[in-house]
Amino acid sequence: MKKKAVHAAALVIAVLLAASVAAVAGPSAPGPVAKAAGKMPGILVLGAIAERYPPVKFDHGKHVGMAGACAECHHQHDGGTAASCAGCHKVDPEAFRKNVNLAKIRPCAECHPPSWKAERPGMPTLKAAYHRACIRCHRDVGSVGKDPKGCAEMCHESGAQARAK
Amino acid sequence: MDRKGDGKMELKRRDFLRVAALAAGGAAFLGRPADALASPDLSGWPDRAGMLTDLTECVGCRTCESACNAANGLPAPDVPFDEKSVFDRKRRPTASAYTVVNRYEAKGSANPVYRKVQCNHCEEPSCAAACPVRAYTKTPEGPVLYDKDVCFGCRYCMVACPFYAPAYDYESALEPRVVKCTMCHGRIRAGGIPACAGSCPVGAITFGKRKELLKIARDRIRRFPDRYVEQVYGEYEAGGTGWLYLSGVPFPQLDFPDNLPKKPIVENTKGFLSAVPLVFTLWPALLGLCYAANGNKEEKG
C-alpha cells in the first residue's frame, strides 16, 4: 500500500520535472534562458591544458536544467553584490546596451586571468574559477563524495583512460 | 576534553621554557635586548607579502603539499600525495614536508574542513626573538627566514613558536638544521608567487601584500556573512601573522590556538630581558665594590 503511494508520488514528480525541463528547453517558452537557448552551447570541450589532462567534456545543456539560474555559474552580477557596473561593463552607453540587450555571457577568461596578477591578487585564476564552479555544487550534492577525489576520478580522464579509448 | 587539558599543560611548560630560552639568548648578547631581533616596527615595510588561506574553499586535494615538495626539492613522500589515509591523523610540518593539510569534522559544517598548516611568518616572530644566534630574520618582503649556517641546533625556536611550525631535521646529526616554510622567498623576489598559492586548483590560497589581503578578507566576510565566522585569524594573533585565515567554523575547532595574546609574544619578556644586561654588568661591579669595601674592613679590623 505504502509502496504504491511512494511510486505514484515519484511518478508525479518525474512527470513534473520532465515538464519543467521541457518548458525551459522548449523553443516557445518565454524568459531569458529560452532566448539565449538558440546560441547556447551543448557539449563544451574544455581543453586548455590538454597536454596535462585530456580535455574535459562538459555537458552545458544538461547543467542548464539543473543549475536553476544562469547566474549560478555565470555570476556576472554576483547576486547583486558586484562592486560597480564599470567593473565589468565598458562605461560606454553603446557597448553597455549591446552587452545587456544581447544577454551576452562573457567568457570566464575575460575577468579570471590564466595566472596570478599583482593588480588583483584576490581574483581567482581561470583554473580556480572553473574548479570552484564545478566543485561547489558537486561536493554538496555528494556525487563526488565529500572527500576529495583524484583529478581523474572527478572530471578529468586519466591518460590511461584516454589511451584505452 | 583530555586534549585541551594537555594543551594547557603544554603551554605552561612552553611559557617556562620560552622565558628560559629568552634569558639564555639575552645573556649571550649583553646590551642587545631580544626584541631588537624581531623588528618590532614594520611600518617601513608596507609592501610586505602575506598569504590568505580561505578554509571554506579548500577541498583537501593536497596539491599544495605536492607543489611545495617539488619547489623545495624535498624527498619523495612515504605515501603518494593523492593518498587520503593521511587524514586519519593530524600531521605537523616536518623536515621533509614544509606544509601539511589536516582534515577536521567540524560542528556546523556538512563537509569536512581542511586546514593547511605551515609557518605563519609572524610580524614579530617569537622564533627570531628566542634564537640566541640570530638565525631567524623577518625579511622586508614578508617571509621569516632561517639561516642554517649560523644555527647550532638548540631548537629554542621550536619551543617558542606558538604554531609548532619549525621542524628539526634529525637525519643530519652533524649538521643541525631546523626547517620550515620560507613562503618561497626566492620566488617572491623573482616576481613570482609561492608554489602552494600558484598550484591550488580552487584558489584557496591567495598571495599578495598583507595589507591588501586583510582588505580582501574583510570584504569576503562582509559580502558573505553566512559563509564565514567574523574573524580574520592572524590579523592580531601573536601580534599579527603574515599568513591570514578565513573560516566557516570557529577557529578553535580547527586547532588554531585561541589563547594567543594580541600583542607580540616577545612583548611578554621585553621588560625582563632589558634588565638582563643591567644585572650582568652593573651587579657584578656593585657587588665587587661591596666585597672590596668589606674586605678592606676585615683586613683593617
Residue B200: Cβ within 10 Å count:
27
Query: Contact A135/B84, CB-based, under 8 Å?
Result: no
**Looking at the DSSP assignment, which residues form a beta bridge with residue B97?**
B94
Query: Contact B223/A81, CB-based, under 8 Å?
Result: yes
pLDDT at A12: 43
- A-chain CB neighbours of B246 within 8 Å are none
B203 vs A118, A128, A148: nearest CB: A128
What CA–CA distance (Å, rounded) separates B177 from B162? 19
Query: Contact A140/B208, CB-based, under 8 Å?
Result: no
Task: For B83, name the nearest residue in chain A, comparing CA atoms only.
Answer: A150
- A-chain CB neighbours of B60 within 8 Å are 147-148
- A-chain CB neighbours of B110 within 8 Å are 140, 146
Task: For A120, name the nearest residue in chain B, comparing CA atoms only.
Answer: B208
Residues 78-107 of A with CB under 8 A from B: 81
Q: How many CB pairs under 8 A join A and B?
A: 57
- B-chain CB neighbours of A122 within 8 Å are 52, 206, 208, 212-213, 216, 219
pLDDT at A11: 44
Query: Contact B201/A127, CB-based, under 8 Å?
Result: yes
By the CB < 8 Å criterion, does A159 face chain B?
no
Query: Which among B133, B159, B161 is positioned nearest to B147, based on CA atoms?
Result: B133
Per-residue model confidence as pLDDT tens digits over A64-86:
878 777 777 777 665 555 555 66
pLDDT at B278: 73
Per-residue model confidence as pLDDT tens digits over B195-224:
999 999 999 999 999 999 999 999 999 989
Query: Contact B60/A81, CB-based, under 8 Å?
Result: no
Q: What average pLDDT is seen over chain B? A: 84
What CA–CA distance (Å, rounded) separates B206 from B52? 5
B206 vs A121, A147, A148: nearest CB: A121
DSSP per-residue codes, chain B: -HHHHHHHHHHHHHHHHHHHHHHHHHHHSTT--GGGGG----TT-TT-EEEEEETTT-----HHHHHHHHHTTPPPPSS-TT-GGGGGS----BTTBS-EEEEE--TT-SS-EEEEE----BSS-HHHHH-TT--EEE-TTS-EEE-TTT--S--HHHHH-TT---EE-TT-SSS--EE---TTHHHHHTT---HHHHH-TT--EEEEEHHHHHHHHHHHHHH-TTTS-S--BTSSGGG-BSEEEE-SS-GGGGT--S---SS-TTHHHHHHHHHHHHHHHHHHHHHHHHHHHHHHHHHH-
Query: Contact A121/B213, CB-based, under 8 Å?
Result: yes
Chain centre distance of CA A35: 17
Query: Contact B82/A150, CB-based, under 8 Å?
Result: yes
Query: Contact B209/A121, CB-based, under 8 Å?
Result: yes
Q: Residues in chain B whose beta carbon is closer than 8 A to a beta carbon of chain A?
A: 52, 57, 59-62, 82, 84, 87, 103, 110-112, 193, 197-198, 200-203, 206-209, 212-213, 216, 219, 223
Q: What average pLDDT is seen over chain A? A: 64
pLDDT, averaged per 10 consecutive residues of chain B (301 residues), comes to 42 53 48 46 86 94 94 93 89 94 89 94 93 92 93 90 91 81 95 95 95 96 94 94 97 94 78 70 86 72 49
Predicted model pTM: 0.73
A147 vs B110, B112, B209: nearest CB: B112
Query: Contact B57/A132, CB-based, under 8 Å?
Result: yes
Task: For B216, name the nearest residue in chain A, comparing CA atoms only.
Answer: A122
Place of cell 619551543: B159
By the CB < 8 Å criterion, does A117 face chain B?
no
By the CB < 8 Å criterion, does A124 face chain B?
yes
Place of cell 614536508: B97
pLDDT at A134: 83
List per-residue pLDDT tens for chain A, 165 residues long. Answer: 445 554 554 444 444 333 333 333 333 333 344 444 446 678 888 777 777 777 788 888 888 878 777 777 777 665 555 555 665 555 566 665 555 544 456 678 888 898 999 999 999 999 899 888 888 777 766 555 555 556 666 677 665 555 565
- A-chain CB neighbours of B62 within 8 Å are 148
Task: For B53, name the nearest residue in chain A, comparing CA atoms only.
Answer: A122
Instruction: Quote the minimal CA–CA distance from A122 to chain B in Å.
Output: 6
A146 vs B61, B112, B208: nearest CB: B112
- B-chain CB neighbours of A147 within 8 Å are 60, 84, 87, 103, 112
Query: Contact B61/A148, CB-based, under 8 Å?
Result: yes
